């Protein structure tokens, strides 16, 4: 299954890179989302995937080897949230940009003056 997931990571990256190279800013933003998803998945995959053993501990002393690794999960969780923040901000920025300039073309962004 890891191989399949690795291919998925590759395809997500491909889609993301392809989209951030578009001139349309909306596509660009969606490209960022794909890239961030792909990266999250890569980190998650690299830490080793275990099915059905979520990291919950009881009151007795827990055995770490019997569970998934909690650290990458914490990292990825943070990454998801931050990624969301970036996307929302970029989207708002895009919205304002369109309002002011009436264009969706990244190449029009060449000049900073409106």
Partner 1 sequence: MLNILLIYFFLSLLIFAVPSKVFKYKAIVLALVQLVIFVYFFTKIPIITDGETLISKISWIPELGLNLSFVLNGLSLAFALLITGIGSLVFIYAHAYMKSYANTDRFFFFLFLFSGAMLGLVLSENLIQLFIFWELTSFLSFLLIAFFHEKESARNAAFQSLFITGFGGLILLTGIILIGGVVQSYSLTEWINNADEIRSSAFYLPGLILILIGAFTKSAQFPFHFWLPGAMQAPTPVSSYLHSATMVKAGFFLLASLNPVLGGTVEWTYIIPLFGVITMLVGAYFAITQTDIKAILAYTTITALGILILLIGVDTKLSIKAAILFLFIHAFYKATLFMVAGLINKKTGTRELSKLGGLAHYMPITFVVALLALFSMAGLPPMLGFLGKELVYEANVQSPGIASLILILGVAANVLMIAVSLFFLKKVFLGKKGNYSKNPNEKGLFIVGPALLATLSLFFGLFPNILGNSIIEPAIQSIFLETYHIKLKLWHGFNKVFYLSLFTVALGTLLFYLIDKYPKLLENWRKINNKIFTIKFVDVFSNVMDNFIVFSKRNNRVIQHGYHRYYLLTIIVVTALLLWFQVFVTRGWELPAKLSFNPFYISGLIGIIMVSAIFSAISKSRIATIIAMGVAGYGISLIFLYYSAIDLAITQIIVETLTVVMFVIVLQKLPRFAKLSSKATKIRDLAIALVFGSVMTVLALKAIRLELNYPISDFFVENSYLKAYGKNVVNVILVDFRALDTLGEITVLTIAALGVFVLLKKKKV
Instruction: Decide: is 2 part of the binding site for partner 1 (CB under 8 A).
Output: yes
**Does 9 sit near partner 1 (CB under 8 A)?**
yes
Q: Kindly state the smallest distance separating residue 113's Cβ from partner 1, in Å.
A: 12
CB of 22 to partner 1, least distance (A): 7
User: Does 82 help bind partner 1 (rule: CB under 8 A)?
Assistant: yes
45-74 binders of partner 1 (CB under 8 A):
45-59, 61-62, 64, 67-71, 73-74
109 binds partner 1 (CB under 8 A): yes
Q: How many CB atoms lie within 10 A of CB 36?
A: 19
Q: How far is CA 37 from CA 15, 26, 101, 107, 109, in A?
A: 11, 17, 30, 26, 26
32 binds partner 1 (CB under 8 A): no
113 near partner 1, rule: CB under 8 A: no
> Cβ distance 80 to 33 under 8 Å?
no
Asked if residue 14 binds partner 1 (CB under 8 A), the reply is yes
Q: Is residue 81 at the binding interface for partner 1, with CB under 8 A as the rule?
A: yes
Minimal distance in Å, beta carbon 100 to partner 1? 6
- Radius of gyration (Cα) for the chain, nearest Å? 19
- Gap between the Cα atoms of 31 and 4, Å rounded: 22
Tokens 């099915």 correspond to 51
80 token code pair: 């998801």
């Amino acid at each position: 299954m890891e191989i399949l997931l690795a291919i998925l990571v590759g395809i997500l990256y491909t889609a993301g890179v392809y989209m951030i190279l578009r001139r349309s800013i909306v596509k660009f933003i969606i490209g960022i989302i794909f890239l961030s998803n792909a990266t999250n998945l890569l980190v998650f995959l690299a830490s080793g995937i275990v099915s059905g053993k979520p990291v919950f501990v009881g009151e007795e002393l827990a055995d770490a080897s019997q569970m998934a690794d909690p650290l990458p999960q914490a990292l990825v969780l943070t990454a998801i949230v931050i990624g969301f923040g970036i996307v929302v901000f970029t989207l708002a920025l895009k919205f304002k940009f369109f309002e002011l300039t009436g264009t969706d073309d990244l190449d029009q962004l060449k000049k900073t003056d409106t």
